[in-house]
Amino acid sequence: MSGPVLPPTPAPLKSIQHYLKIAAEHDQRDPVVSYWCRLYALQTGLKLSTKTTEETNFLMKLMDWLESTKKALHDNEAITNNVAAQAHLENWALKLFMYADKNDRNSNFEKSTIQSFYTAGLLYDVITTFGDLTEEAVQNRKYAKWKAAYIHNCLKNGETPVPGPMKQEGDDEGSVDNLASLDNDAEAEKPNIEPDQNSDESNENQAEEIDSAKEPEPAADAESDEVSDSGVPTPPAIEPNPYNPAPIPTNPGTEKPSSFENFNNLKTEGGVTLNLEQMTKAQKLIKWAGSALNYDDVPTTVMNLRKALHLLTTGQELP
């Protein structure tokens, strides 16, 4: 799958470049990751946009690519079904996280370790597209972003990083909560490598330095404990961490979040039962209607709202 041909990123949208870069690196490896990273970039860009012609043109080209890609991959459940998509991204983020954590604990402080931590942290951002992260995922995201910044800064300053969670005096294993002195960031969810509207130039440059190293795919071989032939992560056996990493699913991709358990019981006013796929489709139509309205595209807004309303009231999709 090839990515969109986009003009230079407008300055107000600069922070979404990191998600677009992850998407580009996964165009051939994993189209699902590419699609959702660009969708997250679009949603973030719409919030950041000052609605100049340059920004509008950039975001419309990104939106066009998303629409055409969704049509082309209509038979891929991880594109059309939010539950399947969330499971897919969570599995990939966890695999990268475990790969980087094992390298870190083995004192393998290569650029691939930094980039894998960094990419995993940003993928957890993308997963918020589907709702709030679990407590374990929040901790993984915080730790991954901190570790990427910490190792990067150590190597940049000619220092040797401490493998694994940082140990503090009087602590047996240390805690992520005691690491504020390393990144000087009081807000744990935004370590100094995470770009946002208020990032200063030095922090943005640091993120770009980390971003410049392409994150490699963990090798799959007969002896590997990082990935199986099917691409499903089989994380290495490592000791428990104080940041409480997310539990590894025994059968990835099959468990449904509790918020979706009752979807099949929803009925329209006419008594038509709506399934999960129909509810997901209606949600997407409403989101696209909102995006179109942001650009004063009333016809597209009305069309998507009509489709969503028809689907929710009759259970049937309009062509």
Tell me, yes or no, whether 298 and 165 share the same domain. Answer: no
Q: Phi/psi of residue 202, each to 5°?
A: -65, -40
Please give the pLDDT value at position 260.
35
What are the residue ranges of helices labelled H in 75-200?
77-80, 82-105, 111-127, 135-156, 180-183
pLDDT-based confidence at 313, cuts 50/70/90? confident
Q: Phi/psi of residue 297, each to 5°?
A: -90, 80
pLDDT above 50: residue 258: no
More confident residue, 284 or 208: 284
pLDDT above 50: residue 165: yes
CATH number at residue 151: 1.25.40
d(CA 262, CA 264): 6
Amino acid at 229: D
Tell me, yes or no, whether 108 and 203 share the same domain. Answer: yes
pTM: 0.58
Tell me, yes or no, whether 173 and 224 share the same domain. Answer: yes
Tell me, yes or no, whether 236 and 290 share the same domain. Answer: no
Q: Report residue 224 CA to chain centroid gap.
A: 25
Counting every residue written for the chain, the total comes to: 319
Whether residue 222 is contained in a domain is answered as yes
**Number of structural domains in the chain:** 2
Cβ 165 vs Cβ 175: under 8 Å: yes
pLDDT per residue as tens digits for the range 117-159 = 999 999 999 999 999 999 999 999 999 999 999 999 999 999 9
Supply the angle between the helices 135-156 and 201-211 in degrees, to the nearest 10.
Answer: 90
pLDDT per residue as tens digits for the range 281-303 = 788 788 777 766 766 678 888 88
| Structural domain harbouring 278 | 262-314
Token pair belonging to 21:
């870069």
pLDDT per residue as tens digits for the range 49-68 = 998 999 999 999 999 999 99
Question: Which residues sit opposite 267 in a β-bridge?
Answer: 273
Would you list the DSSP string of 206-221?
HHHHHHTSPPPPPP--
CATH number at residue 278: 1.20.5.420
Cβ 109 vs Cβ 161: under 8 Å: yes
What are the residue ranges of helices labelled H in the chain?
17-25, 31-48, 53-72, 77-80, 82-105, 111-127, 135-156, 180-183, 201-211, 276-294, 298-314
Amino acid at 286: I
Tell me, yes or no, whether 235 and 298 share the same domain. Answer: no
Tell me, yes or no, whether 129 and 235 share the same domain. Answer: yes
Tell me, yes or no, whether 97 and 197 share the same domain. Answer: yes
Tell me, yes or no, whether 288 and 218 share the same domain. Answer: no
Whether residue 107 is contained in a domain is answered as yes
Tell me, yes or no, whether 177 and 289 share the same domain. Answer: no
Tell me, yes or no, whether 192 and 243 share the same domain. Answer: yes
Cβ 10 vs Cβ 54: under 8 Å: yes
Q: Is 247 exposed, middle or buried (0-12, 13-18, 19+ CB in 10 A)?
A: exposed
pLDDT above 90: residue 203: no
What are the residue ranges of helices labelled H in 158-234?
180-183, 201-211
Whether residue 23 is contained in a domain is answered as no
Tell me, yes or no, whether 232 and 268 share the same domain. Answer: no
d(CA 307, CA 282): 8
More confident residue, 6 or 284: 6
pLDDT above 50: residue 196: no
Tell me, yes or no, whether 127 and 178 share the same domain. Answer: yes
